Structure 1
Amino acid sequence: MPMSLGPSPARRDALAKRIRLLVAATITYNVIEAILAISAGALASSTALIGFGLDSVIEVSSAAAVAWQFAARDHAVREAREHRTLRIIAVSFFALAAYVTLDAVRALTGTGEAEPSIPGVVIAALSLAIMPFLSAAQRRAGRELGSASAVADSKQTLLCTYLSAVLLAGLLLNASLGWSWADPIAALVIAAVAMKEGRDAWQGKGCCAPPVATAAASAAEPEACACGAGCDCCD
């Protein structure tokens, strides 16, 4: 099976610009989310909400690393920054997994149960509605461009969606049924996923740099995945 051609230089520039815009939107949203979630968590004495807010801070660091990479206008410079950006994203994943695990253990031992919070429910619901679209858009652009760092950051944004669902379920179940254990159990599963994604990012797994395509080939398949054989960014 022949290897698919990557995007043309013009298409690469357009994709890089799209990723910069998506990353900027992600950073802006997460900064606001972090402030609101930590504030609501402090008012409700909810470790789950505070943890969710701190997760947003970690996501900002990951997105900022990608923003730094794609701030370079030259494709060669962006490629050179790829490895360092992946390491930053990996550390962000590990930090997220560590905090979520600690928070889950505290909740299970009865020292950090999620408290009912209407603002928390609203924040979690908004994230659950918004984050999947940001993640999918960045993942598509990253896959076509062949950028492992952009794809890895999109996975962290997607992980925020899972955390939002866990937080929302935990707050609602705790408020209605008193099931305070539901949140930390699901959080431990998410922590395991975060560890895997962090390991993959640290090892550089993901997208491979695609070959340059002709303008005609790029125009014929503008949304085609640019990864070659042995790459898993199109999985």
Structure 2
Amino acid sequence: MSHEVDRQPPAATDTCCDGCSADAPAKPSLSDDRRAVLSRRVRLLVGATITYNVIEAIVAITAGTAASSAALIGFGLDSTIEVASATAVAWQFSSKDPEARERVTLRIIAVSFFALAAYVTFDAVRALFGTGEAEHSTVGIVLAALSLLIMPALSAAQRRTGRELGSGSVVADSKQTLLCTYLSGVLLVGLVLNSLFGWSWADPLAALVIAGVAIKEGREAWRGEHCC
């Protein structure tokens, strides 16, 4: 006598965008009201990011030109790259269906990471080989210190919101903001050491490390590995 055995299909295991397996979906289950609140928060955060970085870019490039500081000018150009990244997220969340624009937004953020890495590397190598002595810049030191206070809090808010919303692009943009924090620290140390001891080599060496991190983050954004 043959007995039929009920064969149940194996339980589906969701896979996150970075290849990890999880019992819960990669995209969290949220009510429409909560998703709307988070989407508004994203728009506010990117608005704050764009506003601050536009001001930062103007101040840094102006002060860098006055002091002949390649590091300050590079920091200002990095701010414009951060504006491009945040603008891409703002474009995504201006849509009624932000998820439909997620992949394109991640690609734009990835390119911004690569652009940042390319410029920082170029600027660091140029500084190491010497392109003229930069003068002391009080404005640059104050700007870098201010960014060290503002950017970590902004990045943390972006990251928390992106994770709850399940948005890889928002999380990726938070990492772009965090890299701006690292660059602020590098700039501050470089300006202070150059002002006190004339150690002009400290800044470009640290900047090369940050360029390597930017390339790593850019690759992850391109592959869509930020949502988990």
Q: TM-score range by the shorter chain?
A: 0.7 to 0.9
Q: CA deviation at 1:2?
A: 4.2
Q: CA deviation at 1:200?
A: 0.5
Q: Secondary structure at the match of 1:135?
A: helix
Distance in 2 of aligned mates of 1:146 and 1:79: 10
Distance in 2 of aligned mates of 1:11 and 1:199: 31
Match of 2:30 in 1: 7
Letter in 1 for 2:153: F
Contact 1:48 1:113 in 2 (8 A): no
Match of 1:212 in 2: none
- The answer to whether residue 55 in structure 2 is matched with residue 35 in structure 1 is no
Match of 1:88 in 2: 108
Q: Deviations over 1:11-40 (max 9, x none)?
A: 111111001000000000000000000000
Letter in 1 for 2:90: A
Distance in 2 of aligned mates of 1:24 and 1:169: 29
Distance in 2 of aligned mates of 1:142 and 1:183: 32
Letter in 1 for 2:116: L
| Structure 1 residues 94 and 152: alpha-carbon distance in aligned structure 2, compared to 1, 3 A threshold | same
Match of 2:45 in 1: 22
Match for residue 140 of structure 1 among 148, 160, 167: 160
Q: Over aligned residues, Cα RMSD in angstroms?
A: 1.2
Distance in 2 of aligned mates of 1:11 and 1:142: 13
Q: CA deviation at 1:123?
A: 0.6
Match for residue 56 of structure 1 among 72, 79, 87: 79
Distance in 1 of aligned mates of 2:23 and 2:80: 42
| Structure 1 residues 109 and 141: alpha-carbon distance in aligned structure 2, compared to 1, 3 A threshold | same
Give the TM-score of the pair, scaled to structure 2: 0.87
Letter in 2 for 1:63: A
Q: CA deviation at 1:206?
A: 1.4
Match of 2:177 in 1: 157
- Gaps of at least 5 residues in structure 1 are 208-230
Distance in 2 of aligned mates of 1:113 and 1:12: 52
- The answer to whether residue 148 in structure 2 is matched with residue 128 in structure 1 is yes
Q: CA deviation at 1:149?
A: 0.3
Equivalenced residue count is 205
- Which 4+ residue blocks in structure 1 deviate beyond 3 angstroms? 112-115
Match of 1:185 in 2: 205
Q: Which has the higher contact order (CA 8 A, sep 6+)?
A: 1
State percent identity of aligned pairs: 73
Q: CA deviation at 1:7?
A: 2.1
Match of 2:70 in 1: 47
Distance in 1 of aligned mates of 2:161 and 2:112: 21
Match for residue 91 of structure 2 among 59, 68, 72: 68
Q: CA deviation at 1:114?
A: 4.5
- Gaps of at least 5 residues in structure 2 are 1-21
Contact 1:34 1:56 in 2 (8 A): yes
Give the TM-score of the pair, scaled to structure 1: 0.85
Distance in 2 of aligned mates of 1:141 and 1:131: 15
Please give the residue correspondences for 1:202-217 in structure 2 after superposition, counting only pairs within 5 Å: 202-207=222-227
Q: CA deviation at 1:6?
A: 2.5
